[in-house]
Structure 1
């Protein structure tokens, strides 16, 4: 009975499934490239500052800066491979003005 199951010509084989997965993967890659190409290029002239600069400029601790991130008052623009956070200088100055009431 087992031989009949594998020899059934109407049954999909592993090769057919692998081919279908490969075609699906290619379509996903094409869509991904199309989406990336449609996005505007990343800001080239953006000045980035690290966490230490932000804490010194704004005058807050690590914990307070993290709280401001969670509240949405400032956003991390980029992280490096080590996990170090970088913020836009414009966002840092805006946060400083906001906290100083100006």
Structure 2
């Protein structure tokens, strides 16, 4: 659906082009980790996708969840050095934009089922 698309490949390139944002060491804080921040963003996006595309049957909903799990796994691999550190403001901004673009990919793909 999405993870095999040209759009997703471009997003991965966008991520790798911006890896310098994740090179600095964040100071320990009581905020959550990059992993928690990404998980929260992805969960929120999946809920929005399912609400906005209420016509989806359970097979397509399961596919969305399966693919988002794969996307989180990809992000964990690429961001492994900072995955358990607290994100900086710039990292949060980038991750929010990145997950928003992923949601847009799902929205575009799921309109085909309308």
What's the TM-score, normalizing by structure 2? Answer: 0.29
Per chain length, whose mean CA-contact separation is higher, i.e. which structure has more relative contact order (CA < 8 Å, sep 6+)?
2
What's the TM-score, normalizing by structure 1? Answer: 0.31
* Structure having the larger proportion of residues in helix: 2
* Structure having the larger proportion of residues in strand: 1
Please identify the structure whose Cα radius of gyration is greater.
Answer: 1
